Amino acid sequence: MTARTTTQLLAALSLVGVAAAGCGADEPAPAPAVAPSSVAAPDPLLGAPITDSGVLAAAMLGLGDLPDGFSSIPDPVQDLGLDPAPEYDSPDKSGTDPAECAAVLAPISEQRSGAASNAVARFSGPNFSSIDEDAASYPDTGTAEAFTAVQQAWAGCTAFSGTDADGVSVDYALAGREQSSVGDASASIRLTTSSEGFTLISDVVVAVVDSTVVQVVVSDQSGLEPETVTAVAEAAVERIRSVTPSM
């Protein structure tokens, strides 16, 4: 879930948290949050599932699809051939309250099992910004069920809290977000992650592309422009569509 946003947030805190802590005392109260909308998956779906994770991985976003200043974050094990990170003696204090909100921003393949293929791509940008993409392709009813599961997690987690592995408290606020439709159907939210006076904003688009569900998370201290979020989401959809087998 929020591991991706929590990691960015705490990295930022280590550098700018002191400066940020004194801000916002005189800021007006935020407007009431808009509840996430519910969108149904297409019926019937328009394309067959992608059954090869290598094919799906090759269809993930590339640097040419992103704004200037972003770079790829390689997977230490799969991309760099390193051994998995060792387990440490100190206890992991991470958690989410309520526990089911751990599903928010979790990879699609973790929110609904049974994927025929799945893939992840991560990118870092300037000023603690990032773009993360994950996708999972399903046979039969799995696509619609995954799309529904994501939105159900949103609906039950408009405000929640948690801690990172070191026990640092983090608060989350989730709201619906206006977004033009991308893919065959899509839904969007904004997740605001706050800790010790620092805030990270993540704009999230989840779309159905034939029999694949893709999640794009664009994060920044103040939120990137809506046009940027739309352009990245549309690029993700088109790349996946280009490798989808015909029915």
User: Tens digits of per-residue pLDDT, 28-41?
Assistant: 445 556 889 899 99
Q: What is the mean pLDDT of residues 194-210?
A: 95
Query: pLDDT band at residue 85, thresholds of 50, 70 and 90?
Result: low
Cα–Cα distance for residue pair 105/109, rounded to 1 Å: 11
CA-to-CA separations, 141 to 38, 43, 152, in angstroms, rounded? 18, 10, 16
* Helix or strand holding residue 117 (H, E): strand 117-124
Taken in order of first residue, the domains within the chain and their CATH numbers are: 3-15+42-77+92-241 (3.40.1000.70)
Q: What is the mean pLDDT of residues 59-88?
A: 79
C-alpha dihedral sign at 150, 153, 155, 158: negative
Q: How would DSSP label each residue in 91-115?
A: ----EEESGGGGGTT--HHHHS---
* Helix or strand holding residue 144 (H, E): helix 142-155
Query: pLDDT band at residue 183, thresholds of 50, 70 and 90?
Result: very high
pTM score, whole prediction:
0.86
Considering only residues 35 and 16, tell me which one the structure prediction assigns the higher pLDDT. Answer: 35
Q: What are phi and psi of 7, to 5 degrees?
A: -60, -45
pLDDT of residue 151: 97
pLDDT of residue 192: 97
User: Tens digits of per-residue pLDDT, 209-245?
Assistant: 999 999 999 999 999 999 999 999 999 999 999 999 9
pLDDT of residue 19: 40
Closest to 66 in 3D by CA, of 232, 221, 215: 232
Query: pLDDT band at residue 88, thresholds of 50, 70 and 90?
Result: low
Half-sphere exposure of 152 (CA within 13 A, CB side): 10
CB 183 within 8 A of CB 236: no
